[in-house]
Amino acid sequence: MLLDWMRKIHQLEYAHCYQSIKYGKIQNFIGISAFLLSTFTAFYSKFPEFVDENINEFVKNSIIPFFLLMTAALTGFQAFFKPSEKAENHRRIGLEYEKLRHSIEIILTNSQNVNLDQEIQKIKETWDSMDTVYVNNKCFKDGKRKVQSLNKYPEELSFLPTVIP
């Protein structure tokens, strides 16, 4: 049972790490895009002579307002969606799962020297009290594949269906 718990915890550990990376990439994409759009807009408003006069009216009347709208939308989305906070939260949860997994490893390596029922109850209580959030299904499947590739754990319990093809 402890090995099965350890496998599940390891999968969740990786899933939260992958989710954290995903939110970090979203944060970077939004931030860099908003930065580039605002930089171009600021540069153009300060130096419009660098743009050909025939194109200048189109840029001034169409492109600049569009870039300003996109910059506002991206920064608003970033402030509302908060991908950096979500990335940090998933990173923190992944680390909590890692600590829990290490606790099980210690129990398994010192099984003769501990009260196994008491230690299992502590693990269960810790796991039940963890403040977690859901991960994207793709991140969970990626975490599951990663753990399966380690060839460290026995097969899942036979009465549970396999989700990953």
Sketch the domain layout of the chain as residue ranges: 2-149
Could you identify the residue written with the tokens 């300003």? 68
Contact 20, 94 (CB under 8 A): yes
Q: If pLDDT is split at 50, 70 and 90, which confidence band does 162 have? A: low
Instruction: Tell me the C-alpha distance between 15 and 34, whole Å.
Output: 29
pLDDT at 107 over 90: no
Of the candidates 1, 93, 74, which has an alpha carbon nearest to the alpha carbon of residue 36? 74
Tokens of 116: 């196994």
pLDDT at 117: 84
Residues written for the chain: 165
Could you identify the residue written with the tokens 């969606």? 81
The pLDDT tens digits of the residues spanning 30-76 come to 999 999 999 988 888 787 777 667 677 777 788 889 999 999 999 99
What is the value of pTM for the model shown? 0.81
Instruction: Tell me the C-alpha distance between 65 and 146, whole Å.
Output: 46
